[in-house]
Amino acid sequence: MNVQATATVTITLQRSGRSRDRTGSWTSPGRLPRVVRLLSFAHEIDRRVRAGELDDLAHAARVFGLTRARVTQLVNLTLLAPTIQEEILALPPVTVGRDPITERTLRPIVAEPVWERQMALWEQLRRR
């Protein structure tokens, strides 16, 4: 008994992450702000340490080829108020110029242990 099957697959290809605008010129959709990628990475390190995949932050530093101080700076981003983290993760792509918010500009906010005060500092940073 011969059974034949046919499958149809539709593949949509897009050239180098760009699309054409109305004039036919290629446009770039932008890139994620670096702080979005760093916050995601910080959560990944934290998750792996909590799951026991990594012994501690020093082990994470060795695995990822970073200094212990840098790993601490990154993982400290997880200490931001959840609302701030949500807003960071929802930042729009950067299409022109520099990132509007950097990890370095967040350090004074991260150093503040009270989330309500973090929110006040975050509002000041966003207004700038």
Task: Delimit the domains of the chain by residue range.
Answer: 28-127
- Dump pLDDT digits (tens) for 86-126: 999 999 999 999 999 999 999 999 999 999 999 999 999 99
pLDDT at 112: 98
Per-residue pLDDT tens digits for 6-61:
656 565 655 555 555 566 655 568 999 999 999 999 999 999 999 999 999 999 99
Strands (E), the chain: 19-20, 26-27
Q: Could you tell me which of 91, 84, 75 has the C-alpha nearest to residue 116?
A: 84
- The first and second tokens of residue 125, run together, are 């940073």
pLDDT for res 9: 58
Distance CA 64, CA 53 (A): 13
Chain-centroid distance, C-alpha 114: 23
Contact between 59 and 85 under an 8 Å Cβ cutoff? The reply is no
Check: pTM over 0.85? Answer yes or no.
Answer: no
